[in-house]
Chain A
Protein backbone atom coordinates (compact mmCIF):
# COMPACT_ATOMS: atom_id res chain seq x y z
CA UNK A 1 0.00 0.00 0.00
CA UNK A 2 1.24 3.48 -0.86
CA UNK A 3 2.17 5.51 2.21
CA UNK A 4 -0.23 8.26 1.11
CA UNK A 5 -3.18 5.84 1.09
CA UNK A 6 -2.63 4.36 4.54
CA UNK A 7 -4.39 7.00 6.63
CA UNK A 8 -7.49 7.06 4.43
CA UNK A 9 -7.61 3.26 4.36
CA UNK A 10 -7.54 3.06 8.16
CA UNK A 11 -10.11 5.84 8.54
CA UNK A 12 -12.46 4.18 6.06
CA UNK A 13 -12.35 0.92 8.03
CA UNK A 14 -12.88 2.73 11.34
CA UNK A 15 -15.95 4.43 9.85
CA UNK A 16 -17.63 1.03 9.53
CA UNK A 17 -17.50 0.67 13.32
CA UNK A 18 -19.74 3.67 13.92
CA UNK A 19 -23.50 3.35 14.06
CA UNK A 20 -26.19 5.86 13.24
CA UNK A 21 -26.89 7.93 16.34
CA UNK A 22 -23.58 7.24 18.07
CA UNK A 23 -21.94 9.92 20.21
CA UNK A 24 -18.32 9.88 19.12
CA UNK A 25 -15.12 11.58 20.24
CA UNK A 26 -12.27 11.64 17.73
CA UNK A 27 -8.63 12.15 18.64
CA UNK A 28 -6.15 14.07 16.51
CA UNK A 29 -4.55 12.63 13.36
CA UNK A 30 -6.11 9.69 11.50
CA UNK A 31 -9.28 9.72 13.64
CA UNK A 32 -10.25 13.18 12.35
CA UNK A 33 -10.53 11.70 8.84
CA UNK A 34 -13.18 9.16 9.88
CA UNK A 35 -16.29 11.35 9.24
CA UNK A 36 -15.24 11.65 5.56
CA UNK A 37 -15.90 7.93 5.16
CA UNK A 38 -19.25 7.58 6.92
CA UNK A 39 -22.09 6.26 4.72
CA UNK A 40 -24.80 8.80 3.86
CA UNK A 41 -27.30 7.16 6.22
CA UNK A 42 -25.01 7.11 9.25
CA UNK A 43 -25.15 10.30 11.28
CA UNK A 44 -23.03 10.52 14.41
CA UNK A 45 -22.84 13.27 16.99
CA UNK A 46 -19.27 14.41 17.38
CA UNK A 47 -18.31 15.48 20.85
CA UNK A 48 -15.27 17.61 21.64
CA UNK A 49 -13.55 17.95 25.01
CA UNK A 50 -13.85 21.73 25.01
CA UNK A 51 -17.59 21.27 25.39
CA UNK A 52 -19.14 20.95 21.96
CA UNK A 53 -21.85 18.37 21.39
CA UNK A 54 -22.43 18.14 17.66
CA UNK A 55 -19.15 19.55 16.37
CA UNK A 56 -19.17 20.70 12.78
CA UNK A 57 -16.87 22.63 10.48
CA UNK A 58 -16.45 26.33 11.13
CA UNK A 59 -18.40 27.15 7.98
CA UNK A 60 -18.40 30.45 6.14
CA UNK A 61 -18.43 32.66 9.21
CA UNK A 62 -15.89 31.22 11.64
CA UNK A 63 -15.66 32.76 15.09
CA UNK A 64 -12.12 31.81 16.16
CA UNK A 65 -12.49 33.77 19.40
CA UNK A 66 -15.60 32.03 20.71
CA UNK A 67 -16.00 28.69 18.92
CA UNK A 68 -12.99 26.40 18.61
CA UNK A 69 -12.21 22.69 18.68
CA UNK A 70 -10.11 20.73 21.15
CA UNK A 71 -6.97 21.84 19.30
CA UNK A 72 -7.92 25.50 19.44
CA UNK A 73 -8.74 25.74 15.72
CA UNK A 74 -11.96 27.46 14.53
CA UNK A 75 -14.89 25.07 14.73
CA UNK A 76 -18.65 25.04 14.55
CA UNK A 77 -21.72 23.30 15.85
CA UNK A 78 -24.42 21.57 13.84
CA UNK A 79 -28.08 22.54 14.17
CA UNK A 80 -29.33 20.77 17.28
CA UNK A 81 -25.89 20.75 18.86
CA UNK A 82 -24.91 22.68 21.96
CA UNK A 83 -22.09 23.95 24.13
CA UNK A 84 -21.46 22.61 27.63
CA UNK A 85 -18.85 23.44 30.26
CA UNK A 86 -15.73 21.35 30.93
CA UNK A 87 -17.07 19.48 33.97
CA UNK A 88 -20.21 18.51 32.02
CA UNK A 89 -18.13 17.64 28.96
CA UNK A 90 -16.16 15.15 31.04
CA UNK A 91 -19.31 13.93 32.73
CA UNK A 92 -20.28 12.91 29.22
CA UNK A 93 -16.87 11.38 28.56
CA UNK A 94 -16.10 9.70 31.87
CA UNK A 95 -19.67 8.84 32.69
CA UNK A 96 -20.11 6.41 29.80
CA UNK A 97 -22.24 8.64 27.58
CA UNK A 98 -19.81 8.52 24.65
CA UNK A 99 -20.44 5.45 22.49
CA UNK A 100 -17.07 5.34 20.84
CA UNK A 101 -13.74 7.10 20.90
CA UNK A 102 -11.13 6.75 18.20
CA UNK A 103 -7.56 7.59 19.15
CA UNK A 104 -4.11 7.22 17.69
CA UNK A 105 -1.52 5.12 19.47
CA UNK A 106 2.22 4.91 19.98
CA UNK A 107 1.98 1.44 21.51
CA UNK A 108 -0.82 -0.98 22.38
CA UNK A 109 -0.29 -4.21 24.24
CA UNK A 110 -2.00 -7.56 24.48
CA UNK A 111 -3.93 -6.54 27.59
CA UNK A 112 -5.41 -3.64 25.67
CA UNK A 113 -3.35 -1.04 27.49
CA UNK A 114 -2.45 2.02 25.44
CA UNK A 115 0.50 4.40 25.42
CA UNK A 116 -0.05 7.49 23.33
CA UNK A 117 0.81 10.58 25.33
CA UNK A 118 4.40 10.65 26.48
CA UNK A 119 7.86 9.80 25.22
CA UNK A 120 10.06 10.33 28.30
CA UNK A 121 12.86 12.84 27.79
CA UNK A 122 11.52 14.00 24.45
CA UNK A 123 8.40 16.05 24.85
CA UNK A 124 6.01 16.86 27.61
CA UNK A 125 2.72 17.46 25.86
CA UNK A 126 0.30 16.44 28.60
CA UNK A 127 -2.47 13.90 28.46
CA UNK A 128 -5.30 16.35 27.81
CA UNK A 129 -8.55 14.42 27.83
CA UNK A 130 -7.16 11.13 26.54
CA UNK A 131 -6.98 9.34 29.90
CA UNK A 132 -10.61 10.22 30.68
CA UNK A 133 -11.79 9.14 27.23
CA UNK A 134 -10.08 5.77 27.50
CA UNK A 135 -11.66 4.88 30.83
CA UNK A 136 -15.06 6.36 30.02
CA UNK A 137 -16.02 5.67 26.41
CA UNK A 138 -18.10 2.56 25.84
CA UNK A 139 -15.93 1.47 22.92
CA UNK A 140 -12.27 2.40 22.47
CA UNK A 141 -10.82 2.05 18.98
CA UNK A 142 -7.14 2.64 18.34
CA UNK A 143 -6.52 3.74 14.76
CA UNK A 144 -2.85 3.73 13.85
CA UNK A 145 -0.21 2.50 11.45
CA UNK A 146 0.75 -1.05 12.28
CA UNK A 147 4.46 -0.33 12.72
CA UNK A 148 6.70 2.69 13.26
CA UNK A 149 9.93 2.72 11.25
CA UNK A 150 9.47 -1.01 10.72
CA UNK A 151 9.17 -1.71 14.44
CA UNK A 152 6.02 -3.25 15.92
CA UNK A 153 3.67 -0.97 17.85
CA UNK A 154 1.44 -3.81 19.02
CA UNK A 155 3.46 -5.27 21.85
CA UNK A 156 3.33 -7.88 24.59
CA UNK A 157 3.64 -5.01 27.05
CA UNK A 158 3.86 -1.27 26.44
CA UNK A 159 7.29 0.20 27.10
CA UNK A 160 6.16 3.83 27.05
CA UNK A 161 4.12 5.28 29.92
CA UNK A 162 0.50 4.18 29.82
CA UNK A 163 -2.33 6.51 28.94
CA UNK A 164 -4.71 3.93 30.41
CA UNK A 165 -4.60 0.24 31.18
CA UNK A 166 -6.89 -2.49 29.84
CA UNK A 167 -9.03 -0.04 27.93
CA UNK A 168 -8.76 -0.79 24.20
CA UNK A 169 -11.47 -2.81 22.45
CA UNK A 170 -10.24 -2.81 18.88
CA UNK A 171 -7.06 -1.95 16.95
CA UNK A 172 -7.43 -0.94 13.31
CA UNK A 173 -4.33 -0.57 11.14
CA UNK A 174 -3.50 -0.69 7.43
CA UNK A 175 -2.73 -4.40 7.87
CA UNK A 176 -5.44 -5.73 10.13
CA UNK A 177 -8.36 -5.43 12.50
CA UNK A 178 -7.49 -6.86 15.91
CA UNK A 179 -9.88 -7.32 18.82
CA UNK A 180 -8.72 -7.24 22.41
CA UNK A 181 -10.23 -10.12 24.39
CA UNK A 182 -9.72 -11.70 27.80
CA UNK A 183 -7.55 -14.28 26.06
CA UNK A 184 -5.36 -11.76 24.26
CA UNK A 185 -5.38 -10.30 20.77
CA UNK A 186 -7.56 -11.85 18.09
CA UNK A 187 -6.99 -11.18 14.41
CA UNK A 188 -10.46 -10.79 12.92
CA UNK A 189 -9.75 -9.10 9.59
CA UNK A 190 -6.72 -8.78 7.35
CA UNK A 191 -5.77 -6.58 4.45
CA UNK A 192 -5.35 -9.04 1.53
CA UNK A 193 -2.22 -7.15 0.48
CA UNK A 194 -0.58 -8.96 3.41
CA UNK A 195 -0.45 -12.56 4.54
CA UNK A 196 -1.38 -13.55 8.05
CA UNK A 197 2.27 -14.47 8.55
CA UNK A 198 3.36 -10.97 7.52
CA UNK A 199 0.86 -9.43 9.93
CA UNK A 200 2.11 -11.61 12.80
CA UNK A 201 5.72 -10.78 11.89
CA UNK A 202 4.88 -7.07 12.19
CA UNK A 203 3.26 -7.65 15.59
CA UNK A 204 5.22 -8.40 18.76
CA UNK A 205 2.21 -9.74 20.66
CA UNK A 206 0.91 -13.15 19.68
CA UNK A 207 -2.22 -13.01 17.54
CA UNK A 208 -4.91 -15.64 17.78
CA UNK A 209 -6.59 -16.15 14.42
CA UNK A 210 -10.35 -15.76 14.56
CA UNK A 211 -12.28 -18.72 13.15
CA UNK A 212 -14.28 -16.06 11.29
CA UNK A 213 -11.23 -14.32 9.84
CA UNK A 214 -12.16 -12.22 6.82
CA UNK A 215 -10.81 -9.62 4.46
CA UNK A 216 -10.82 -5.95 5.48
CA UNK A 217 -11.85 -4.93 1.97
Chain B
Protein backbone atom coordinates (compact mmCIF):
# COMPACT_ATOMS: atom_id res chain seq x y z
CA UNK B 1 0.00 0.00 0.00
CA UNK B 2 1.54 3.36 -0.95
CA UNK B 3 2.03 6.17 1.55
CA UNK B 4 0.10 9.34 0.88
CA UNK B 5 2.41 12.24 1.71
CA UNK B 6 2.75 15.97 1.10
CA UNK B 7 4.78 17.33 -1.80
CA UNK B 8 7.42 18.55 0.65
CA UNK B 9 7.69 15.19 2.44
CA UNK B 10 8.12 13.40 -0.87
CA UNK B 11 10.72 15.87 -2.10
CA UNK B 12 12.77 15.29 1.08
CA UNK B 13 13.11 11.62 0.12
CA UNK B 14 15.34 12.49 -2.83
CA UNK B 15 18.96 13.23 -1.87
CA UNK B 16 21.48 15.14 -3.94
CA UNK B 17 23.31 12.88 -6.37
CA UNK B 18 20.33 10.55 -6.86
CA UNK B 19 19.38 9.00 -10.18
CA UNK B 20 15.80 10.01 -10.99
CA UNK B 21 13.51 8.96 -13.80
CA UNK B 22 11.00 11.64 -14.75
CA UNK B 23 7.98 10.61 -16.79
CA UNK B 24 6.58 12.85 -19.49
CA UNK B 25 7.08 13.77 -23.12
CA UNK B 26 7.80 17.45 -23.75
CA UNK B 27 6.33 17.88 -20.29
CA UNK B 28 3.07 16.09 -21.16
CA UNK B 29 2.57 13.53 -18.42
CA UNK B 30 5.14 15.00 -16.05
CA UNK B 31 4.41 15.45 -12.36
CA UNK B 32 4.01 19.21 -12.72
CA UNK B 33 3.44 20.25 -9.13
CA UNK B 34 5.89 17.82 -7.60
CA UNK B 35 8.61 18.96 -10.01
CA UNK B 36 7.93 22.53 -8.91
CA UNK B 37 8.37 21.47 -5.28
CA UNK B 38 11.52 19.51 -6.14
CA UNK B 39 12.92 22.48 -8.04
CA UNK B 40 12.62 24.53 -4.84
CA UNK B 41 14.05 21.82 -2.56
CA UNK B 42 17.73 22.56 -3.02
CA UNK B 43 18.49 19.01 -4.16
CA UNK B 44 21.26 18.95 -6.76
CA UNK B 45 23.67 16.84 -8.82
CA UNK B 46 20.81 14.67 -10.05
CA UNK B 47 21.16 12.19 -12.87
CA UNK B 48 17.87 12.54 -14.69
CA UNK B 49 16.47 9.99 -17.12
CA UNK B 50 13.70 11.55 -19.18
CA UNK B 51 12.37 11.33 -22.72
CA UNK B 52 13.54 14.87 -23.51
CA UNK B 53 14.76 18.11 -21.96
CA UNK B 54 11.23 19.55 -22.17
CA UNK B 55 11.07 23.27 -22.84
CA UNK B 56 10.73 26.70 -21.38
CA UNK B 57 7.20 28.01 -21.78
CA UNK B 58 4.41 25.59 -20.88
CA UNK B 59 0.92 25.53 -22.43
CA UNK B 60 -0.59 27.45 -19.50
CA UNK B 61 2.14 30.07 -19.49
CA UNK B 62 4.41 28.18 -17.10
CA UNK B 63 7.88 29.72 -17.24
CA UNK B 64 9.47 26.27 -17.34
CA UNK B 65 7.66 23.03 -18.10
CA UNK B 66 8.29 19.52 -16.86
CA UNK B 67 11.90 18.55 -16.29
CA UNK B 68 13.00 21.97 -17.62
CA UNK B 69 12.31 23.28 -14.11
CA UNK B 70 15.13 21.15 -12.68
CA UNK B 71 17.45 21.95 -15.59
CA UNK B 72 16.83 25.68 -15.26
CA UNK B 73 17.62 25.57 -11.54
CA UNK B 74 20.87 23.72 -12.32
CA UNK B 75 19.93 20.67 -10.28
CA UNK B 76 20.87 18.21 -13.00
CA UNK B 77 24.45 17.10 -13.60
CA UNK B 78 23.66 14.37 -16.11
CA UNK B 79 20.74 13.92 -18.45
CA UNK B 80 20.02 10.61 -20.19
CA UNK B 81 17.49 11.43 -22.89
CA UNK B 82 16.48 11.19 -26.53
CA UNK B 83 15.90 14.84 -27.41
CA UNK B 84 16.94 18.22 -26.05
CA UNK B 85 16.41 20.42 -29.11
CA UNK B 86 13.51 22.43 -27.70
CA UNK B 87 15.25 23.42 -24.48
CA UNK B 88 18.12 25.78 -25.31
CA UNK B 89 19.30 25.71 -21.69
CA UNK B 90 20.52 22.14 -22.17
CA UNK B 91 22.89 23.13 -24.98
CA UNK B 92 23.91 26.20 -22.97
CA UNK B 93 24.82 24.16 -19.88
CA UNK B 94 26.35 21.33 -21.92
CA UNK B 95 28.27 23.02 -24.73
CA UNK B 96 28.97 26.52 -23.40
CA UNK B 97 29.35 25.96 -19.67
CA UNK B 98 30.23 22.28 -19.52
CA UNK B 99 28.18 21.77 -16.35
CA UNK B 100 25.61 19.32 -17.71
CA UNK B 101 26.56 15.96 -19.15
CA UNK B 102 24.13 14.71 -21.80
CA UNK B 103 23.86 11.10 -22.95
CA UNK B 104 21.61 10.81 -25.99
CA UNK B 105 19.74 7.56 -26.52
CA UNK B 106 17.27 6.76 -29.32
CA UNK B 107 13.76 7.16 -27.95
CA UNK B 108 12.64 3.60 -28.56
CA UNK B 109 15.85 2.23 -27.07
CA UNK B 110 15.37 4.47 -24.02
CA UNK B 111 11.85 3.13 -23.40
CA UNK B 112 12.99 -0.45 -23.82
CA UNK B 113 16.14 0.00 -21.68
CA UNK B 114 13.90 1.30 -18.88
CA UNK B 115 11.52 -1.58 -19.43
CA UNK B 116 14.46 -3.98 -19.18
CA UNK B 117 15.61 -2.29 -15.97
CA UNK B 118 12.16 -2.71 -14.50
CA UNK B 119 11.70 -6.26 -15.72
CA UNK B 120 14.95 -7.65 -14.36
CA UNK B 121 16.54 -8.07 -17.78
CA UNK B 122 20.25 -7.64 -18.41
CA UNK B 123 19.85 -5.33 -21.37
CA UNK B 124 18.26 -5.17 -24.79
CA UNK B 125 19.39 -6.06 -28.29
CA UNK B 126 18.14 -3.52 -30.81
CA UNK B 127 18.92 -2.78 -34.45
CA UNK B 128 18.42 0.91 -33.71
CA UNK B 129 21.67 2.87 -33.81
CA UNK B 130 23.77 0.31 -35.68
CA UNK B 131 26.38 2.18 -37.73
CA UNK B 132 25.77 5.45 -35.87
CA UNK B 133 27.36 7.32 -32.95
CA UNK B 134 25.09 5.35 -30.61
CA UNK B 135 27.69 2.57 -30.89
CA UNK B 136 30.07 4.87 -28.97
CA UNK B 137 27.56 5.58 -26.18
CA UNK B 138 28.57 4.62 -22.63
CA UNK B 139 25.22 2.79 -22.53
CA UNK B 140 26.08 0.63 -25.55
CA UNK B 141 27.76 -2.54 -24.29
CA UNK B 142 28.55 -4.20 -27.60
CA UNK B 143 27.28 -5.49 -30.89
CA UNK B 144 25.91 -8.88 -31.81
CA UNK B 145 24.80 -10.52 -35.02
CA UNK B 146 21.71 -12.68 -34.74
CA UNK B 147 20.22 -14.45 -37.75
CA UNK B 148 22.33 -12.26 -40.00
CA UNK B 149 21.18 -8.93 -38.57
CA UNK B 150 23.34 -6.62 -36.42
CA UNK B 151 22.08 -5.48 -33.04
CA UNK B 152 23.43 -3.18 -30.33
CA UNK B 153 23.46 -4.43 -26.77
CA UNK B 154 22.12 -1.54 -24.72
CA UNK B 155 22.33 -1.42 -20.92
CA UNK B 156 19.25 -1.70 -18.75
CA UNK B 157 18.29 1.51 -16.94
CA UNK B 158 17.30 1.51 -13.30
CA UNK B 159 16.97 4.49 -10.99
CA UNK B 160 16.85 5.37 -7.32
CA UNK B 161 13.57 7.20 -7.87
CA UNK B 162 10.89 7.42 -10.53
CA UNK B 163 8.63 10.44 -10.57
CA UNK B 164 5.46 9.61 -12.45
CA UNK B 165 2.09 11.27 -12.88
CA UNK B 166 -1.43 9.93 -13.35
CA UNK B 167 -4.83 11.52 -13.76
CA UNK B 168 -6.57 9.29 -11.23
CA UNK B 169 -4.77 7.29 -8.56
CA UNK B 170 -6.70 5.26 -6.05
CA UNK B 171 -5.93 4.52 -2.40
CA UNK B 172 -4.04 1.36 -3.42
CA UNK B 173 -1.86 3.35 -5.81
CA UNK B 174 -3.47 2.06 -9.00
CA UNK B 175 -2.99 4.57 -11.79
CA UNK B 176 -5.20 5.64 -14.69
CA UNK B 177 -3.60 7.93 -17.25
CA UNK B 178 -5.36 10.46 -19.47
CA UNK B 179 -4.55 10.98 -23.15
CA UNK B 180 -0.89 10.92 -24.12
CA UNK B 181 0.31 11.34 -20.53
CA UNK B 182 1.04 7.65 -20.09
CA UNK B 183 4.15 7.75 -22.34
CA UNK B 184 7.24 6.77 -20.32
CA UNK B 185 5.39 6.81 -16.98
CA UNK B 186 4.32 3.20 -17.48
CA UNK B 187 7.81 1.71 -17.77
CA UNK B 188 9.42 4.14 -15.33
CA UNK B 189 6.99 3.07 -12.62
CA UNK B 190 8.62 -0.37 -12.77
CA UNK B 191 12.27 0.67 -12.92
CA UNK B 192 13.13 2.51 -9.71
CA UNK B 193 13.75 1.61 -6.08
CA UNK B 194 11.22 4.20 -4.99
CA UNK B 195 8.29 5.38 -7.09
CA UNK B 196 6.62 8.70 -6.34
CA UNK B 197 3.35 9.26 -8.20
CA UNK B 198 1.56 12.58 -8.50
CA UNK B 199 -2.20 12.29 -8.83
CA UNK B 200 -4.42 14.95 -10.34
CA UNK B 201 -7.18 13.24 -8.39
CA UNK B 202 -6.93 10.74 -5.56
CA UNK B 203 -9.95 8.44 -5.77
CA UNK B 204 -11.43 5.67 -3.70
CA UNK B 205 -10.69 2.04 -4.53
CA UNK B 206 -13.12 0.80 -7.16
CA UNK B 207 -13.35 4.13 -8.97
CA UNK B 208 -10.87 2.83 -11.53
CA UNK B 209 -12.10 -0.51 -12.89
CA UNK B 210 -9.46 -3.24 -12.45
CA UNK B 211 -9.12 -3.63 -16.21
CA UNK B 212 -8.53 0.10 -16.64
CA UNK B 213 -5.59 0.20 -14.25
CA UNK B 214 -2.42 0.78 -16.27
CA UNK B 215 0.17 0.95 -13.49
CA UNK B 216 -0.63 -1.50 -10.73
CA UNK B 217 -0.53 0.05 -7.28
CA UNK B 218 2.06 -2.48 -6.13
CA UNK B 219 4.68 -0.56 -8.15
CA UNK B 220 3.91 2.74 -6.40
CA UNK B 221 5.53 3.69 -3.07
CA UNK B 222 4.36 7.26 -2.49
CA UNK B 223 1.43 9.28 -3.78
CA UNK B 224 1.24 13.05 -3.73
CA UNK B 225 -1.98 14.84 -4.64
CA UNK B 226 -1.40 17.65 -7.09
CA UNK B 227 -4.97 18.54 -7.97
CA UNK B 228 -6.40 18.97 -11.44
CA UNK B 229 -3.92 20.57 -13.80
Residues of A near any B CB (own CB < 8 A): 48-52, 63-68, 70-72, 74-75, 77, 83-87, 89-90, 93-94, 113, 118, 123-132, 135-136, 161-166
Contacts A68-B26, A161-B133 aside, 18 further interface pairs with beta carbons under 8 A come to A50-B28, A51-B182, A66-B181, A70-B25, A72-B86, A85-B111, A85-B187, A86-B110, A90-B112, A94-B108, A124-B90, A124-B95, A126-B104, A128-B52, A128-B83, A132-B109, A162-B133, A164-B128
Q: How many A-B residue pairs have CB under 8 A?
A: 161
Q: How many residues of B contact A (CB 8 A)?
A: 55
How far, in Å, is B162 (CB) from chain A's closest CB? Answer: 13
- Residues of A contacting B36 with CB < 8 Å? none
- Residues of B contacting A50 with CB < 8 Å? 25-26, 28, 180, 183
Contact residues, B101-138 vs A (CB, 8 A) = 102, 104, 106-112, 114-115, 126-134
B33 at the interface (CB under 8 A from A): no
How far, in Å, is B67 (CB) from chain A's closest CB? Answer: 12
- Residues of B contacting A118 with CB < 8 Å? 133
How far, in Å, is B148 (CB) from chain A's closest CB? Answer: 14
- Residues of B contacting A85 with CB < 8 Å? 111, 182-187, 214
Residues of B near any A CB (own CB < 8 A): 25-29, 51-53, 55, 59-60, 81-86, 90-91, 94-95, 102, 104, 106-112, 114-115, 126-134, 167, 177-187, 214, 229
Main SS class of interface, A: loop
Q: How far is the CA of A77 from the CA of B179 in the complex (A)?
A: 9
- Residues of B contacting A123 with CB < 8 Å? 85, 91
Which of A52, A135, A163 neighbours the largest number of chain B CB atoms within 10 Å of its CB?
A135
CB–CB A83/B95 < 8 A: no
CB–CB B55/A72 < 8 A: yes
- Residues of B contacting A162 with CB < 8 Å? 131-133
From the candidates B60, B107, B180, name the one contacting A128 in the complex (CB within 8 A): B107
- With both beta carbons as reference points, the residue of chain B lying nearest to A77 in the complex is identified as B179
